[in-house]
Amino acid sequence: MVKARTTSFMALTLGAVLLAACAGSGSPSPSASSAASGSAAPSASIIPAPTSLITPGQLVDCVDIEYPPLEYFPSSDVTDPNAAIGFDVEAAKAAAAKLGLQITIRNTGFDALIGDLTTGGRCDIVWSGLFISDDRTAVADVVPYMKTGHVVMVPVGNPKGIHTAMDLCGKTISIQTGGLVETVSAQASTDCTDAGKQAINIQGHAKVADEFQEIVLGRVDAVWETQEAVADWMTRNPNQYEVAFVASQDKTYGIYYTKGKTDIGDAFAAALRALKDDGTLPGLATKYNLDPATLDAIQ
């Protein structure tokens, strides 16, 4: 479906540490071109807008705003979802402007994202760092936009000697529930018991921040999370953590939309291509210490 990734996660992590543009209090400010509900009208449409939106001319994007560098609030005192920053939300605003749409960002819990789209009727798209998976594409359609993967992070020095998934047997890890990492870590635990070893003690959390806090408190031996979230965490907490091993780099993030609404899929596929070609998306990737080569997922 997508081209192979051309650069390694370790190079991406090193670049994130060196650039550190989104570290600590130096978080990027919202894009000047961001359009929010109630804001000034976006620029004239360049690509035909979809016609099957919940409200004509209005795009509602469900986002779990707690996942830097893809979607997060710039400071603790900001709670307006439309003021969120990060690659996903700023790219969504750029795509909406390209389509001549007003956009509203709707803050939604991770576990509710697909349900709010498919059965709740609360959003037109979900652009929120979701892997493309068989379970999700069974109930929603998707447009790919970024190559990604997941890694296992440990304290610096790797004191427990974790280098493969089998090294996690009998150890404790933290994950975010409701996603692909939950599935693959559970399978890794089954592989442990099938090999006559102890199962992995998997501590699941609804919020990524809580998942990372577990390793800060010393309650887990490792964190199993997406490479973007780990790279951002390591940038914000330099010289404290390292990647024990790369679990996978063959995943892809996608923009989900209601099954059968091909006009939405076609419009966003065209907008992504245009925003990649004109440098908007590569620029946002660089701004948030992401590798622009991951955008080769755009078809």
Strand partners, 223: 153, 174
* Contacts for 229 with CB less than 8 Å, ≥ 6 apart: 67, 68, 208
pLDDT of res. 120: 86
Q: What is the number of structural domains in the chain? A: 2
One domain for residues 154 and 239: yes
Distance CA 139, CA 268 (A): 19
Question: Mean pLDDT score of the chain, rounded to an integer?
Answer: 88
Residue 130: φ, ψ to 5°: -100, 130
Query: Cis omega (within 30 of 0) on the bond before 56?
Result: no
Name the band, by pLDDT with cuts 50, 70 and 90, for residue 34: very low
Q: What is the CATH number of the domain that holds 163?
A: 3.40.190.10
pLDDT digits (tens, 9 = 90+) for 186-211: 999 999 999 999 999 999 999 999 99
- Residue 1: inside a domain, yes or no? no
Q: Please give the residue that has the higher pLDDT: either 42 or 94.
A: 94
Instruction: Please indicate, yes or no, whether residues 85 and 26 belong to a single structural domain of this protein.
Output: yes
Q: Are residues 223 and 233 in the same domain?
A: yes
Q: Please give the full DSSP string across 89-110, using - where no structure is assigned.
A: HHHHHHHHHHTT-EEEEEE--G
In a domain, 2, yes or no: no
Among 31-35, 131-135, 217-221, the minimum mean pLDDT is found in 31-35
277 membership: H or E segment, kind and range = helix 262-277
Per-residue pLDDT averaged across 56-64, rounded?
98
Domain with 215, as residue range(s), is 150-249
78's torsion region: left (phi>0), alpha (psi -120 to 50) or beta?
beta
Residue 245 lies in a domain: yes
| Residue 46 · residue 112 · CB < 8 Å | no
DSSP, collapsed to helix, strand or coil, labels residue 194 as helix
pLDDT digit string (tens) for 141-151? 999 999 999 99
Amino acid 84: pLDDT: 98
Number of H helices, E strands in the chain: 9, 8
Same domain membership, residue 16 and residue 30: yes
Strands 58-63 and 222-226: unpaired
Q: What is the pLDDT of residue 12?
A: 45
Residue whose structure tokens are 């652009």: 127
Structure tokens at 36: 């929010």
Helix 262-277 vs helix 280-287: crossing angle, to nearest 10: 80
| Tokens 């798209």 belong to residue | 125
Instruction: Tell me if residue 236 falls in helix, strand or coil.
Output: helix
What is the sign, positive or negative, of the torsion defined by CA atoms of 131, 76, 37, 117?
A: positive
Q: What does pTM read for this prediction? A: 0.82
Whole-number pLDDT of residue 31: 36
Band (pLDDT 50/70/90 cuts) for residue 111 is very high
What distances in angstroms separate CA 53 from CA 22, 50, 172, one per listed residue? Answer: 34, 7, 44
CB distance 195 to 166 below 8 Å: yes
- Residues 170 and 24 both lie in one domain: no
| 132 and 57 co-located in one domain | yes
> What percent of the chain is modeled with pLDDT above 90?
83
The pLDDT value given to residue 14? 37
In a domain, 37, yes or no: yes
More confident residue, 4 or 155: 155
Contact between residue 146 and residue 226 where contact means Cβ atoms under 8 Å apart: no
The mean per-residue pLDDT over the stretch 125-130 comes to: 97
Question: What is the rounded CA–CA span in Å between residue 110 and residue 238?
Answer: 27
pLDDT for position 122: 96
User: Is the domain of 276 the same as that of 200?
Assistant: no
Are 226 and 255 contained in the same domain?
no
Average pLDDT for 260-287:
98
Phi and psi at residue 140, to the nearest 5°: -145, 155
232 is a domain residue? yes
What residues form DSSP beta bridges with 153? 223, 243
